Structures are given as C-alpha cells and as structure tokens.
C-alpha cells in the first residue's frame, strides 16, 4: 500500500505542485488580497472588509468597461458564429477549392492576438483611409478615432481571427451527419434550405454549445487584441474589463481594488459560461 501511495504522488506530484503554486495558491491569496488595502509596495497589509468591492460599483471606468465588454461580447459571438457556420457550409460543398479555402480561413487563428491587433490598426487607420479617399466613401475615414469604430474594429478583428476556428469545429460536426439522413430528405423532396434547417441545424447543436462557450469566454476575456488595436482609447472609451483590471493594478497601484475586480470578473465568467453550457446542452438532440 505504501508503495502505491509513493507511486501515486510520484506521478501526480510534479504536475500538481506546479498547478497549485501557479493557479490554486494565487487564486486563494488573491481572494484574500481583495479584502485588503494591498498596493503592491507597502509590506504591511490591512484587512479592509468589503471596501474594495463597494469601490468597484462607484468606479465609472469599470462600469463603462463592463458595458462595453458586454456589448462587444454579444456582437462578436453572433458575428463569429454566423460567419464560422457559413464558412463551414461553404467548404463542405465539395468544391475543388474547398481545401485551399479551409487553409486560408483557419490561418489567422494561429497568429497571436497582439500581432493581429497591430496589423488591423494599420488596415483601419491607413488602409481604410486610402480606400475611402479613393472611392469617396466617407465612412471609411477616421477609424479607431472614436468609440463606435473602435468597437466595430474589434468585432471585425475577432471575426477574422476566430471564424476559421469555429468553421473547423462546425465542419467536424457537419461531416458527422449520417449521409442516409440527407439522402432520405432529398428523396422526400426537401430543398437545400429545408435540409439545412431541419437536419443540419439540429444535428450540429453539440458543436454549437462548444462554439458558443469558446467565443463567449474568449470575447469576454479579450486583452491582447484590445491592447494592440485601440489601446483602450480614445479616452478609455474602448477599454475592456481585462485591461481595466490591468490598469487599476499597474497604472494606479490599487492592487486590492484590482484584485476585487478580478474576483468579480471570475464570478461573472463562471456564471455566464456555465449557464450557457447548461442551457444549450439541454436543448441538444439526442442521437
């Protein structure tokens, strides 16, 4: 028995040690810090109760970033899923170019968010401006210089990055649909749209659960792209929650408040994503 125990810890121990020290301990310490006046510099830390949490609700910057993040998440989840699913339908139609298209659509997903943000900063500020001057389309001018274009800039960037990812997930689901089902419906006289609606949609529901989860949590937690595309500007109007937490901690040295925000952030993500998975799972079709 002793030998077994030794083997157990010998195998689980190294990973668990790193995991505890990097995830579990900081999480617990962080929850404790959120109730203190820790500022990262002073060594004596005092317990202040719920003060930091109450401060969050008075912090207009945080509330604005929360609203902006929520709006962005809704817009990007819808856009990415619609485009991703459409691309999946397109590349499963057995065209000669299907494989090449799949390669192209997926490619942006491998490039880091930080670098993508810089690329699109150039496209929106210089490329769009040139195109606008060339064609006389005034709406192409001045992108990223206000909240609205910053918002749609982020949505477009994320759509470009993640649609290919979701396409891959939806393609796997579409290819799992039994051929007989599709053939039977064709014999029954269903057209392409009816087939999509009554066969494809219900049978890709599990992939939909996954995709919704991935886009929801990725959009809500967005940081790198936010930093490199707009930097939160102009005047913090496109600042998302992750960036607000970062700035609270490192620009204003309010570690306790930043940590309280981070705990709230964690709870929101947990509640939203878990209820989403619960709701969409419930309505999946059993095969």
Partner 1 sequence: MNKGNKTILRIIGILTGLLFLSPFYIVIVNAFKTKKELFMNTLGLPNSINFNNFVEAWKRLDFLSVFFNSLLITAGSIVFIIIFSSMAAWMLQRNKSKLSNFIFFLYIAAMLIPFQAVMLPLVRVMGKLNLLNIPGLMFMYVGFGSSLSIFLYHGFVKGIPTALDEAATIDGCNSWQTFWHIIFPILKPITITVAILNTVWIWNDFLLPSLVINRPGTRTIPLATFFFFGEYTKQWHLALAGLGLAIIPVIIFYFFAQKHIIESVTAGSVK
x/- track of binding to partner 1 for residues 130-169 (CB under 8 A): xx--x-------------------------x---xx--xx
Among the candidate windows 56-64, 72-80, 86-94, 145-153, which touches partner 1 by CB under 8 A?
86-94
DSSP-assigned beta bridge partners for residue 47: 36
In the bound state with partner 1, the residue whose beta carbon lies nearer, of 145 and 273, is: 273
Residue 126 touching partner 1 (CB under 8 A): yes
Query: Is the preceding peptide bond at 234 cis, omega within 30 degrees of 0?
Result: yes
By CB under 8 A, name the one of 12, 63, 67, 82 that touches partner 1: 12
Position 7 contacts partner 1 (CB under 8 A): yes
Q: Cβ–Cβ contacts within 10 Å for residue 91, how many? A: 25
Q: Is 278 in the site for partner 1 (CB under 8 A)?
A: no
| Number of residues near partner 1 (by CB under 8 A) | 89
Q: Pick from 50, 54, 63, 104 the residue near partner 1 by CB under 8 A.
A: 104
Closest listed residue to residue 143, CA positions, set 119, 160, 127, 159: 127
Q: Are 222 and 68 in contact (CB under 8 A)?
A: no
Query: Do 272 and 216 contact (CB within 8 A), yes or no?
Result: yes
Pick out residues in 233-252 that bind partner 1 (CB under 8 A): 242, 245-246, 249
Residue 48 touches partner 1, criterion: CB under 8 A: no
**Cα gap 178→283, rounded to integer Å:** 20
Separation in Å, CA 224 to CA 37, 71, 198, 262, 263? 28, 18, 39, 17, 20
- Minimum Å gap between C-beta 49 and partner 1 is 19
CA 32 to chain centroid, in Å, comes to 28
Among 48, 75, 129, 177, the residue binding partner 1 under the rule CB under 8 A is 129
Least Å from the CB of residue 79 to partner 1:
14
Q: Is the Cα dihedral 258, 259, 260, 264 positive or negative?
A: positive
Span 183-222, contacts to partner 1 by CB under 8 A = 192, 206-207, 210, 214, 217, 221
Residue 74 lies near partner 1 (rule: CB under 8 A): no
N-to-C CA span, the chain = 44
Nearer to partner 1, 75 or 123 (CB): 123
**Residue 189 vs residues 186, 194, 198: alpha-carbon distances, Å:** 5, 9, 13
Smallest distance from the beta carbon of 133 to partner 1, in angstroms? 10
Assess 22 for contact with partner 1 (CB under 8 A).
yes
CB of 194 to partner 1, least distance (A): 15
DSSP for residue 144: T
- Tell whether residue 26 is a contact of partner 1 (CB under 8 A): yes
């Amino acid at each position: 028995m002793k030998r077994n125990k030794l083997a157990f810890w010998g195998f689980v121990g190294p990973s668990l040690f790193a995991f505890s020290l990097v995830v579990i301990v900081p999480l617990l310490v962080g929850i404790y810090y959120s109730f203190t006046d820790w500022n990262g510099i002073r060594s004596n830390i005092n317990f202040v109760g719920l003060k930091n949490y109450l401060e969050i609700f008075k912090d207009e910057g945080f509330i604005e970033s929360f609203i902006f993040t929520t709006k962005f998440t809704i817009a990007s989840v819808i856009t990415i899923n619609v485009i991703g699913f459409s691309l999946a339908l397109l590349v499963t139609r057995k065209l000669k170019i299907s494989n090449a298209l799949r390669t192209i659509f997926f490619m942006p997903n491998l490039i880091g968010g930080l670098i993508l943000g810089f690329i699109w900063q150039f496209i929106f500020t210089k490329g769009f401006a040139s195109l606008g001057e060339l064609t006389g389309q005034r709406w192409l001018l001045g992108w990223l210089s206000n909240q609205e274009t910053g918002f749609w800039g982020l949505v477009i960037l994320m759509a470009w990055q993640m649609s290919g990812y979701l396409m891959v997930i939806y393609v796997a689901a579409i290819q799992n649909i039994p051929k007989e089902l599709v053939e039977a419906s064709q014999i029954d006289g269903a057209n392409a749209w009816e087939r999509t609606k009554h066969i494809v949609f219900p049978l890709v529901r599990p992939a939909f659960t996954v995709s919704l989860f991935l886009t929801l949590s990725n959009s809500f937690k967005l940081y790198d792209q936010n930093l490199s595309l707009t930097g939160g500007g102009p005047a913090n109007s496109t600042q998302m929650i992750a960036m607000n937490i970062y700035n609270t901690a490192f620009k204003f040295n309010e570690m306790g408040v930043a940590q309280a925000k981070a705990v709230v952030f964690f709870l929101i993500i947990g509640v939203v994503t878990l209820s989403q998975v619960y709701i969409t799972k419930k309505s999946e079709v059993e095969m």
